[in-house]
Amino acid sequence: MQQSDVLIIGSGIAGLTTALKLAFKNPNLSITILTKTIENESNTRYAQGGVAAVWDMEVDTFEKHIADTLDAGDGLCDESIVRIVVEEGPERVREIIEWGTRFDKEKNSENYDLGKEGGHSENRILHYKDLTGAEIQRALLAKAKELPNIKIYEHYFAMEIITQHHLGYYVTKLTPNIECYGTYVLDKETGKIETFLAKVTVLASGGAGQVYRSTTNPVIATGDGIAMVFRANGRIENMEFVQFHPTSLYNPAVESRSFLVSEAVRGYGAILRTSDGKEFMQKYDPRKSLAPRDIVARAIDNEMKMRGEDYVYLDCTHLDEEGYIAHFPTIYEKCKSIGIDPMKDYIPVVPACHYVCGGIKVDEIGKSSILNLYAAGECTSTGLHGANRLASNSLLEAMVFGHRIHEDILENINKKGIKTNVPDWNAEGTTDPKELVLITQSWKELKEIMSSYVGIVRSNVRLKRALDRLHLLYTETELVYSNTTVSPQLCELRNLITIAYLVTKSASIRRESRGLHYTTDFPKKSNRLEISIL
């Protein structure tokens, strides 16, 4: 049984920001970070575009950034949260620069090279080539290793948050004061399940893109935090709003992660074209290729279906070669590796699942509906994104909420204790290698269900079919789970089935089209602004 003051699940920007601030402010706090793979593997690492922040105050303003975010969110943003994130954001960015994060600067200048992405009215994206997330991850991890009161456990998979359920109490979503005492954790190297207890727990477990066949997310993005909170009867909201990045690199070879061609490439001047070379975005939005992601993704999806083609093209051939390679070296090299020269050839692209805008409902300081449980980053629904995330707002959100969480923890940690009468995990079960076939096949089936029926365009018939098949998958998987020794693959499958249910059920509840949720049965917006809560 492990004990610490603060337990953080996830080693991306949200988890590391929270840990660093706590460790700096109170060197006596013991802080444990769990990551289910290696410490630098997270959704943060794959964020190419950058961080949106009002930086050049002579041109840009908070009000402009707020307006852009509200416009992208299509009526469902919490304006007070948007204002908090936008106004506090620049200071959070300055802090990570002080911690060693590098951003690109203009040639022969100390001014930052501010990019522009779809949905933004001004140049306000700080970036490091096309590896912004990886650069931030590097800097934060390096800083964390300087602090002796932060301990990072690699290959530790959080399976369930511990609540009154595990002490024999019956609690429901309507039960007040559900409490979190820590988590049950699978040591992936030994196969043993350990109990990690803490005064407070912070979920920074990232996204859930692996629920779809094509995703820009790494293989670890299996929605673990959201699924754990749902099973613990915590509040989840707005899961129907799944953002599909319009431009992932088309590759007929099956890969676990689609390669992202950043929004910033279109911000730099790239143009979307059909296979015959014709520009098409003007038919869908006056902003053309710089329209918000939901509009661009649906436009590409529509063009592909109308023409019976597997992809559209991104044209970079007219762009300055030296500047393009300097800004997007990773994208350039990836394209070259598969025989495409972006300076001469069009890049084939398709939409891919990219970001979940809903998740664990938290308040303005990151508190979930479960006592002593905070959450930050993509696993949350803060009110910032509403029905659609504005490009490059996510890293900013993670830093702002990491800061707010640390302030509340420091103010209240001395009033809290560790509950020690928690039973060990019941590890009964039999290992049967044949069951791995069931797990891998169920995973493939799940991705097909979600991609076919709960993708960019939805309908009542498709959603009903998805729910029926998901119920069967759920029943089969729970039977395996109850009779088989727990494995990471089985836990991730359970979590993804939960995520699939939450997305599909939330989509079936919303009787309108708004933001990232588009249904052919209700193609227009409703006059009622409703949050979907499960």
- Considering the domain architecture, whether residues 220 and 309 belong to the same structural domain is answered as no
Max CA separation in the chain (angstroms):
68
Range of the structural domain that residue 82 is part of: 2-240+357-415
Q: Is the pLDDT of residue 350 over 80?
A: yes
Task: Check residue 177 and give its pLDDT.
Answer: 85
Task: Return the closest-CA partner of residue 29 out of 140, 151, 204.
Answer: 151
Residue 428 located in a structural domain: no
Residue 305 located in a structural domain: yes
Task: Return the closest-CA partner of residue 10 out of 144, 203, 139, 155.
Answer: 203
Q: Is the pLDDT of residue 490 over 60?
A: yes
- Considering the domain architecture, whether residues 185 and 332 belong to the same structural domain is answered as no
Structural contact between residues 77 and 69, judged by C-beta atoms closer than 8 angstroms: yes
Compute the distance between CA of residue 497 and CA of residue 411 in angstroms, rounded to an integer.
Answer: 38
| pLDDT classification of 439: cutoffs 50, 70, 90 | confident
Task: Check residue 167 and give its pLDDT.
Answer: 82
Residue 463 located in a structural domain: no
- Considering the domain architecture, whether residues 217 and 100 belong to the same structural domain is answered as yes
Structural contact between residues 115 and 128, judged by C-beta atoms closer than 8 angstroms: no
- Considering the domain architecture, whether residues 275 and 396 belong to the same structural domain is answered as no
Annotated catalytic residue, options 45, 213, 273, 293: 293
Pick from 372, 398, 415: which residue ends a domain? 415
- Considering the domain architecture, whether residues 66 and 154 belong to the same structural domain is answered as yes
Compute the distance between CA of residue 92 and CA of residue 267 in angstroms, rounded to an integer.
Answer: 24
In the chain, pLDDT over 70 holds for what percent of residues? 97
**What mean pLDDT do residues 312-339 have?**
93
Least confident of 5-19, 267-281, 441-455, 519-533: 519-533
Q: How many domains does the chain have?
A: 2
Pick from 309, 336, 351: which residue ends a domain? 351
- Considering the domain architecture, whether residues 184 and 270 belong to the same structural domain is answered as no
- Considering the domain architecture, whether residues 276 and 390 belong to the same structural domain is answered as no
| pLDDT classification of 254: cutoffs 50, 70, 90 | low
- Considering the domain architecture, whether residues 369 and 226 belong to the same structural domain is answered as yes
Mean pLDDT across the chain, nearest whole number? 92
Q: Is the pLDDT of residue 355 over 90?
A: yes
Residue 474 located in a structural domain: no
The one-letter amino acid at 441: Q
- Considering the domain architecture, whether residues 34 and 123 belong to the same structural domain is answered as yes
Task: Check residue 118 and give its pLDDT.
Answer: 78
- Considering the domain architecture, whether residues 293 and 386 belong to the same structural domain is answered as no
Residue 531 located in a structural domain: no
In the chain, pLDDT over 90 holds for what percent of residues? 75
pLDDT per residue as tens digits for the range 263-289 = 889 989 999 999 999 999 999 999 998
**DSSP code of residue 8:** E
- Considering the domain architecture, whether residues 337 and 365 belong to the same structural domain is answered as no
- Considering the domain architecture, whether residues 57 and 133 belong to the same structural domain is answered as yes
Pick from 391, 415, 439: which residue ends a domain? 415
The three-state secondary structure class of 129 is coil
Instruction: Tell me, yes or no, if 469 is annotated catalytic.
Output: no
Residue 338 located in a structural domain: yes
Which CATH number is 265's domain given? Answer: 3.90.700.10
pLDDT per residue as tens digits for the range 92-136 = 999 999 999 999 998 888 899 999 887 899 999 999 987 898 999
300 strand-pairing partners: none
